[in-house]
Structure 1
């Protein structure tokens, strides 16, 4: 398994991991960023930069697009209209707020799905429904040799 399917396979390995803020340990706990960090470590290797502690409302008071900026530093931007398995998805949960929820696309096509760590639910794979697609603000590819 290589490339995008390796990313999807790694992400699916985290399904069932409980939601734990700031954590990134498969089976023990993670948040949405921790899921991406764990998949990065499994597929690419060492994380590209250290992550400072962050609060549940991080970046909101200042309006800083912290995750978008990090995505632009370390991932390859893609058009929102070109979905593919393995894409990293960035969501804005409320209009006017910073984008701060991440997921990994697991299926494209007529029944798109994504994997994410969601507070109160843990890591799960769910349909990328119209309400989720409306919140999508950026799409990235991991920097894999095969992409």
Structure 2
């Protein structure tokens, strides 16, 4: 029999609700979406997720108008009974959480293998940030990339 220190996790049943305009986010959904294992405690993950919800809400504040009661108002359709915007909102928050978790946890091992692992995580952190920005851009109805001529 083998021992896997971070293999199992207990469902947290923790949800984060902010302004009623935005959908609730379940901590377990974040874990599953961006594959965060049990080495990150629910308490730590919850704090990081709250920070990301605050940031994503700040970036989407321009969508809150008297005509739009929820973020779903801006959805172009539904999948499995949920508006597109719910999935994109979860993606934005979860990818922001993944970037922060990878940044924090890569610095705990200062050995040579730890330094190599930290270097290996840098592209993953950048990809998570990119995915967060893309989800936000999609919600805002904008293209993923904006190019300006100098």
Say yes or no: TM over 0.5.
no
- What's the TM-score once normalised by structure 2's chain length? 0.26
Greater strand share, 1 or 2? 1
Write 1 or 2 for the structure with the bigger share of helix.
2
Higher RCO (CA < 8 A, seq sep 6+): 1
